[in-house]
Amino acid sequence: MTEINMKINIAGVEWNNPVVTASGTFGFGREYGEYIDLNKLGAICVKGLTLAPRQGNQPPRIAETPAGILNSVGLQNPGVKYFVEHEIPFLKKYTSKIIANISGNTVEEYCSMAELLSDSDVDLIEMNISCPNIKEGGVAFGTNARTVNSITREVKKHCKKALMVKLSPNVTDIKEIAKAAEDGGADALSLINTLLGMVIDINTRRPILANNVGGLSGPAIKPVAVRMVWQVASVVNIPIIGMGGIMTGEDAVEFLLAGASAVAVGTANLIDPTACMKVLEGLENYMYRNNIKDIKEIIGKVEIN
């Protein structure tokens, strides 16, 4: 076999391959472009955007944990208008699809950002309703099925681009939340966002993070993420972007087998700026070794006991 097909379709948008960067771990791609060819990514999901610029939380904002990190950056970003004017022209130099990630404190803020970005050159909009790092907005929206449905339905009215809803794992029933987003009009889902965690300095007896709690990411959360992707894939009929601790091509294959159509690489980028390329290469090698000609042949093909 000499050729394999890595192309996928997410809500009407064709990607050259299923590897995308996870929001918040890749900036706007400029720094990583010095290490890898950004054209080789299926998509670039940029740093989370808010309607107005944000300085983020007070430091310390990062704490290492066994097999992962805890972060409480607090959505530091230059604002959506700056992104449209200054970062999209840079990203348009590459063939990778552009995903804008948005967060808001109110439904109106989400709608305003969706409108602004709908008139821009982004390919998809990822709505983050699950970020645990801000005191208002994210947690309340993302952990209740009724509010997930309501905000998705409202933002969809203002969104001309494909709308992807990013789900929180900090819920009692991820399937109920996923269905609520789909019923509200989501074109795709991404999961999981970080798990809420805490680290305490036993000498000072105080939390290490200034915000006390933060989002846990990295390999430690992968089994939870794979389980949730598998559960969600069983109840929705829209594409899923799986994420949570993906470090290798083999990790990516797990998510695809569980039902994801694409995979997002996050914390691995902070360890190795070439991580996305290694995940893509590992995925391709798996396909060659197993004589798989099309990536779609393995999506959702887990054989349950």
Residues that are catalytic: 131
Residue 166's SS3 state is strand
Read off the tokens for 160. Answer: 């001309």
Helices (H) and strands (E) in the chain, counts: 10, 16
Tokens standing for residue 109: 């803020």
> b or e along 167-203 (b: 16 or more beta carbons within 10 Å of the residue's beta carbon)?
bbbbbeebbebbbbbbebbbbbbbbbbbbbbebeeee
Peptide bond into 60 cis (omega under 30): yes
Token output for 230: 């598998």
The closest alpha carbon to 226, from 249, 192, 194, belongs to 192
